[in-house]
């Protein structure tokens, strides 16, 4: 029974995807703007549904941070509506063509961008993800199945209802956006096996969720695992700049994946830099963990062994390592980074290029704060996630990442000899 | 013990990948041409190793077709050497950049093409795949672990030895190309769990192999499933052209994935077309299976029920369906195609565009033979496989499909406000 209903959900999504891929950009933008209107005028209804979720969360003693993430108010609803209009303003990747030229046989070959098809998104807590993910999927011509956290079940339901009502108003199959609120894991497990209907799974949440999805899914998964990001301060760095990048990367917001978790310092400037850096970090309440050499140069709260590096603290903590060369810095990042975002601070262009060439991370930066590693700041407009695996997408994923390219061949009766 | 050795293989591949991604195009091309030389001068040794495999195959009563696929002779060795030189001539996708522009914050954002890292290729029988796959992986800067069929164990070993000897000659880590000849499935199972080292798995073989890899792997898989390709002959088709496309697609080579397995005919021209088409197909020894309406218009060898459609025959057999509209043709292909290659024959450009827009297949063609659906014919130069799933690659995969893009950010000390 449950299996049937999960299958039904994915079949309906696949059917809806067939019409979605033929919509024009103008049609899609009109619908997105209409959803924005409807959200704004339904804010009382949204806040009421959200308050049920908030009450349950309070009665279950969820943390204040969790409750804050869950909360919707006038301002946050306005911000959701604004984000819908921003997605309408983004370039539509669907239909973009590039030529592979006329072949010797006489056939003309193109690659044409098309929607992926059906996306299953599994996420936790924040209900605004419901609207963001639905709008990005819709703009890129994909059907989406949204499985939000049970904490936000009432909020997600009313948001999905508003989206579906707008779709119906414009004569579009409402199964283009489906929200599942069941807490029954077997429904999710069944969906994760439906590779005949679903083309892509995006889990956004803790490592337990991602591991579960990875283990269970027969469908390709794009995972956003951890952000263990480093700043490497080279011997040729502008130390004042390095300090800015360090403080911004570590303290501007600590609970996010593009915050710094590690600092790697070249030995030649370690003495000069670490004293000042550690003093500033302490001023911001950051606990200092460091290798032996770090501890010889400045007071640390804990000396780290090699095995202790590579933690995603998501807190006011930093792991510092002193290295004797650029190569050793690259080795450290290779071993302990999570292929998310890695920064070099140096005035030496050649050493910057070597770092960028050698470090295997989705975003490699020269003289910039790791906090810029998100879709909006990198010029993608909006992001549906950040991929730390390399296939299909690597790093922040915008609209283009929700599409793929097919081959189009035009001939005049050519056959193969 | 076995687990350790499998882990050791993938760790060594990952280590080799670090240097591979920094090689220049010229360095890579020099090595590829040197492997070609060495292959040619070692042909006696290769033929000797191959004859051991052939003897085993004969003693095990493998089919003549299997034995032919397994066989290496002077001509085939020359063809492998030529293919290495052709790969050297292909454009190197690694390092290609595109700009996302200067952002409001002042940072400059680029996307830069990089190797994926480590590829695990699992394939059956044909030993020339060993050389092809190794050369494409190497040219695109990836390490590769080759798991060929046990039938070709001796041939694969000598080919891999030649490749590794050349790598060593040029001071490159020989673990860039590793061939595993064990028939122990637990080694493969362990490798399929090593997502910390391996970035991509490409299985090439029967559905049993692909299903096993899909079920077992924690690593992203690009699968080449089936080719159930159709030719749709529209009411506005040039029927002489349609006949050419049909005969070429069905009979030029029957055992390949881009051969036609289905013919869909618009009712308005079905009477005219089917008589001639069936007559020609019979002349080539093709068995005719058809729907009720087909059987009313021409003699069929078997009447098909709806459930019987969608077979990959890989033989001189074809399934014919008469439809009453373009939409019905698209529905048929949606239901029974395998998202590989679909062809429309029509003189009506609008109907061709609608077909191309609506049909969900990696390669959609207008007035061309399905047999053009391969990397060489489509202008990719060489292919490592044909993806029938949409993520990362869809359709024939050339060098570019073995790479991904990372973000490169260049700033001058910008921090996030």
Strand pairing partners for A323? A266
Give per-residue pLDDT as tens, A361-392: 999 999 999 999 999 899 888 888 889 889 99
* Crossing angle for the helix pair B25-41 and B43-59, to the nearest 10 degrees: 70
For residue A301, is pLDDT > 70? Answer: yes
Q: How far apart are CA A341 and CA A257, in angstroms?
A: 9
Q: Which residues of B touch A367 (CB under 8 A)?
A: 410-414
Strand pairing partners for B410? A366, B108
B390 interface with A at CB cutoff 8 Å? yes
Q: How far apart are CA A291 and CA A300, in angstroms?
A: 9
Question: Do A251 and A318 form a contact (C-beta atoms < 8 A)?
Answer: no
Q: What letter would DSSP give residue A410? A: E
DSSP string for residues in B51-98: HHHHHHHHHTT--HHHHHHH---HHHHHHHHHHHHHHHHSPP-TT-EE
A284 interface with B at CB cutoff 8 Å? no
Residue B27, classed as helix, strand or coil, is helix
In this complex, the residue of B100, B221, B252 whose CB is nearest that of residue A378 is: B100
**Residue B146, number of CB atoms within 10 A of its CB:** 24
Q: Rg for chain B (alpha carbons), in Å?
A: 24
List, edge to edge, every strand of the sheet that includes A177-180. Answer: A177-180, A143-147, A118-123, A200-204
Phi, psi for residue A149 in degrees, rounded to 5: -75, 150
Q: Which residues of B touch A372 (CB under 8 A)?
A: 103, 105, 107, 409, 411, 414, 416
With a cut of 50, list the residues of chain B below it in pLDDT: 1-2
Strand positions, DSSP E, A86-192 = 97-102, 108-115, 118-123, 143-147, 177-180
- The most confident of the ranges A183-192, A206-215, B83-92 is B83-92
Which pLDDT does position B125 carry in this prediction?
67
Q: How far apart are CA B77 and CA A386, in angstroms?
A: 45
In this complex, the residue of B100, B107, B406 whose CB is nearest that of residue A361 is: B406
Distances (CA, A) of B166 to A233, A392, B32, B35, B94: 39, 32, 9, 6, 22
Lookup: tokens for B354? 């609608």
Please enumerate, as own/partner, the contacts of B53-59 that have beta carbons within 8 Å and a separation of 24 or more. B53/B127, B53/B151, B53/B152, B53/B153, B53/B154, B53/B155, B56/B151, B57/B151
Question: Do A235 and A252 form a contact (C-beta atoms < 8 A)?
Answer: no
What is the model's pTM?
0.89
Residues B34/B38/B39/B45 CA torsion (nearest 10 deg):
-170
Q: How far apart are CA B262 and CA B264, in angstroms?
A: 7
Report CB contact under 8 Å: A391, B363.
no
**Residue A119, number of CB atoms within 10 A of its CB:** 26
Strand pairing partners for A318? A288
- Give the CA count within 13 Å in the CB-facing half-sphere of B281: 31
Lookup: tokens for A44? 């009382």
How many interchain CB pairs under 8 A, A with B? 227
What band does A125 get if pLDDT is binned at 50, 70 and 90?
low
Q: How far apart are CA B130 and CA B332, in angstroms?
A: 38
Strand pairing partners for A144? A119, A177
Distances (CA, A) of B236 to A415, B243, B266, B354: 19, 14, 9, 14
Nearest chain B residue (CA) to A394: B406
In this complex, the residue of A105, A114, A200 whose CB is nearest that of residue B377 is: A105
Nearest chain A residue (CA) to B239: A413
Q: Which residues of A touch B412 (CB under 8 A)?
A: 241, 367
B366 interface with A at CB cutoff 8 Å? yes
**Buried residues in A159-188 as b, exposed as e (16+ CB within 10 A):** bbbbbbebbeeeebbbbbbbbbbeeeeebb
The percent of chain B in helix, strand and coil, each rounded to the nearest 5, is 45, 20, 30
Q: How far apart are CA A404 and CA A402, in angstroms?
A: 7
Distances (CA, A) of B48 to B64, B126, B138: 20, 16, 26
Lookup: tokens for B80? 């492998």
Question: Do B406 and B95 form a contact (C-beta atoms < 8 A)?
Answer: no
For residue A90, is pLDDT > 50? Answer: yes
For residue A2, is pLDDT > 80? Answer: no
**B373–chain A nearest CA distance, Å:** 9
Interface probe, candidates B383, B411, B412, chain A, greatest A C-beta count within 10 A: B411
Greater confidence, A206 or A267? A267
Residues of chain A numbered 179-218 and touching chain B (CB < 8 Å): 199-200, 214-215, 218
Distances (CA, A) of B389 to A94, A372, B118, B338, B401: 18, 33, 20, 10, 13
Which pLDDT does position A205 carry in this prediction?
82
Give per-residue pLDDT as tens, A212-247: 898 888 888 888 778 999 999 999 999 999 999 999
Question: Which structural domains are found in chain B, ordered by start?
Answer: 2-225+392-410 (3.40.605.10), 229-377 (3.40.309.10)
Report CB contact under 8 Å: B413, A241.
yes
Strand positions, DSSP E, B127-173 = 143-147
Give per-residue pLDDT as tens, A31-80: 999 999 999 999 999 999 999 999 999 999 988 888 888 999 999 999 99
Q: Rg for chain A (alpha carbons), in Å?
A: 24
Q: How far apart are CA B301 and CA B289, in angstroms?
A: 6
**ipTM of the shown complex:** 0.91
**Residue B412, number of CB atoms within 10 A of its CB:** 13
Question: Do A250 and A282 form a contact (C-beta atoms < 8 A)?
Answer: no
Residue B378, classed as helix, strand or coil, is coil
Which pLDDT does position B126 carry in this prediction?
85
Lookup: tokens for B142? 């990836």
Residues 6+ apart with CB under 8 A from A300: A278, A288, A289, A290, A294, A320
Give per-residue pLDDT as tens, B322-353: 999 999 999 999 999 999 999 999 999 999 99
- Paired sense of beta strands A143-147 and A118-123, if any: parallel
- Paired sense of beta strands B108-115 and B403-414, if any: antiparallel
Q: How far apart are CA A369 and CA A343, in angstroms?
A: 7
Question: Do B134 and B146 form a contact (C-beta atoms < 8 A)?
Answer: yes
Residue A34, classed as helix, strand or coil, is helix
Question: Do B24 and B211 form a contact (C-beta atoms < 8 A)?
Answer: no
B98 interface with A at CB cutoff 8 Å? no
Phi, psi for residue B116 in degrees, rounded to 5: -70, -40
Indicate the average pLDDT of chain B: 94
What band does A1 get if pLDDT is binned at 50, 70 and 90?
very low
Report CB contact under 8 Å: A413, B362.
no
Q: How far apart are CA A39 and CA A17, in angstroms?
A: 24
Please enumerate, as own/partner, the contacts of B97-101 that have beta carbons within 8 Å and a separation of 24 or more. B97/B408, B100/A378, B100/A379, B100/A380, B100/B407, B101/A379
Q: How far apart are CA A299 and CA A276, in angstroms?
A: 12
Please enumerate, as own/partner, the contacts of A307-311 that have beta carbons within 8 Å and a separation of 24 or more. A309/A262, A309/A335, A309/A336, A310/A228, A310/A262, A310/A335, A310/A336, A310/A337, A310/A338, A311/A228, A311/A261
The whole-angstrom distance between residue A51's C-alpha and the CA centroid of its chain comes to 27
Interface probe, candidates A360, A383, A399, A402, chain B, greatest B C-beta count within 10 A: A360
Question: Do A322 and A291 form a contact (C-beta atoms < 8 A)?
Answer: yes
């Amino acid at each position: 029974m449950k299996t049937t209903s999960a299958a039904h959900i994915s079949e309906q999504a696949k059917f809806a995807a067939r019409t979605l891929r033929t919509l024009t950009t103008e049609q899609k933008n009109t619908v997105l703007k209409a959803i924005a209107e409807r959200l704004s005028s339904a804010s009382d209804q949204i806040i009421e549904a959200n308050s049920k979720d908030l009450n349950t969360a309070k009665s279950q003693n969820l943390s204040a941070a969790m409750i804050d993430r869950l909360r919707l108010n006038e301002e946050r609803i306005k911000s959701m509506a604004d984000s819908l209009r921003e997605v309408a303003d983004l370039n539509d990747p669907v239909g973009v063509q590039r030529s592979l030229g006329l072949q010797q046989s006489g056939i003309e070959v193109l690659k044409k961008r098309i929607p992926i098809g059906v996306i299953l998104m599994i996420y936790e807590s924040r209900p605004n993800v419901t609207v963001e993910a639905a709008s990005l999927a819709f703009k890129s011509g994909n059907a989406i199945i949204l499985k939000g956290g049970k904490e936000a079940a009432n909020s997600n339901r009313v948001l999905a209802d508003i989206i579906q009502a707008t779709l119906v108003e414009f004569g579009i199959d409402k199964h283009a956006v489906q929200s599942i609120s069941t807490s029954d894991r077997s429904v999710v497990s069944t969906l994760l096996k439906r590779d005949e209907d679903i083309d892509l799974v995006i889990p956004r949440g803790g490592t337990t969720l991602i591991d579960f999805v990875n283990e269970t899914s027969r469908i390709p998964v794009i995972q956003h695992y951890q952000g263990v990001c480093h700043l490497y301060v080279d011997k040729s760095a502008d130390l004042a700049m390095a300090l800015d990048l360090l403080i911004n990367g570590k303290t501007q917001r600590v609970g996010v994946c593009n915050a710094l978790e590690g600092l790697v310092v070249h030995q030649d400037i370690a003495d000069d830099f670490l004293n000042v850096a550690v003093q500033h970090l302490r001023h911001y309440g950051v606990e200092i963990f460091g290798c032996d050499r770090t501890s010889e140069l400045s007071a640390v709260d804990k000396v780290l062994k090699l095995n202790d590096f590579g933690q995603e603290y998501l807190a006011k903590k930093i792991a510092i390592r002193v290295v004797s060369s650029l190569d050793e810095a690259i080795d450290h990042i290779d071993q302990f980074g999570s292929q998310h975002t890695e920064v070099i601070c140096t005035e030496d262009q050649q050493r910057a290029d070597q770092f960028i060439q050698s470090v295997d991370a989705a975003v490699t930066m020269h003289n910039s704060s790791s906090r810029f590693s998100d879709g909006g700041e990198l010029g993608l407009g909006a992001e549906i996630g950040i991929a730390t695996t390399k296939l299909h997408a690597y790093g922040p994923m915008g609209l283009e990442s929700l599409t793929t390219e097919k081959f189009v061949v035009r001939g005049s009766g050519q056959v193969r000899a």
